[in-house]
Amino acid sequence: MSKILIIIPTLNENKNIDILVKKIISLKINLTILVIDDNSTDGTRKKIVTCCKKNKFFNYIFRS
């Protein structure tokens, strides 16, 4: 079965990232999620790290 890569660019998406990730996970498909954060200042980074700890298919790249 093919694996789908979903790339999510973020910048200050603290209020939206949880909702988006839950909706993607609910699809029940073979996937990898890559979040690329552009130096958010609103707590988005912390939420992304938490998601990565809970889900092995979740990865991130942070711009410093």
pLDDT score recorded for residue 51: 86
Tokens standing for 61?
């790249």
pTM, entire model: 0.85
CB-based contacts of 59: which residues, under 8 Å, 6+ apart?
Answer: 32, 33, 34, 35, 52
CA 40, CA 57: separation in Å to the nearest integer?
A: 22
Residue by residue, pLDDT tens for the chain (64 residues) are 688 999 999 999 999 998 998 898 898 889 999 999 999 999 999 999 998 888 888 999 998 7
pLDDT score recorded for residue 1: 67
